Structure 1
């Protein structure tokens, strides 16, 4: 999409109020990446369609996307993993402010260590964490995903660099190449059906067959 399309769509979906608007402002002021408004609306829509009971999130940050998902379906619960201890504490405060703490299990730790210890099945899994480890996150998530479950990965186009034909700067080259490999990997993975959606910073959505 061209910039004018993105701006137009983002304005349409930028309807946050109250706590979500506060979190957006805090994230912007402190350079903390959170999902874009159009991605938040997409997640909300998918959850209302799927009606998941159990959600797994890899990458809590300050709790914004967790709150978006929990508000979309009042009967779901979420297990969310965050490596950064400071952000995990902020997320916990935000869950408390949103009166959602009883529906959240927040694990502070590296998802690479946490995921192999999990055995519960999840109806929907959302990955928004370290881009260099998406393949490992994805494979562990598939193990935990219920039949016909949905697995969504955010930021797979990495600020447009993944799709760019021009030379990629050295400091971004490794992540860009890994994300390109990851996209090909999920598109060719057996047992799932995957689509790439060019909204926000790029999403993949996979359904376990």
Structure 2
């Protein structure tokens, strides 16, 4: 099983949750390619420049894709969105006006999402009236539109509420991140079974 993990965190070096999940995925999914979008070259104006044929080749070679991103403004990160818009091009990932399959058609995928707040925050009793999954409808439709077969969405809550190191709360939080990575690995490896 060749899994491709696409990391859409724009500042992965400063991330706790996303970085921990990627580290655990490296450990539990040997041979997995971790592809960091934040290391792509930029233009003099600071815009990320993707080598589209090389990005598409990575996706072509993968048996399964994991899209790992923080939740920003009720969606995936701007960096992930830019990558999707440029790499999942008409004629390669989809055909305008056609239901015919393309490069990603039927490929299994997992959406790994880190969220700054708690799960309770995204309930009518919390501050947001909708669940995270409800906010993700455009993302889900995008995945469907290119024919990816979404296995599941793995959401890790509380990324902005990091407990202090050495506390029982931090130990539990770190364990939850490792569990998220293991859940992703189980989904990806289950495809090969």
- Fold-level similarity (TM above 0.5): no
Which of structures 1 and 2 has the larger relative contact order (alpha carbons within 8 angstroms, sep 6+)? 2
State the TM bucket, normalised to the shorter chain: 0.3 to 0.5
Q: Comparing both structures, which one devotes a greater share of its residues to strand?
A: 1
Higher helix proportion:
1
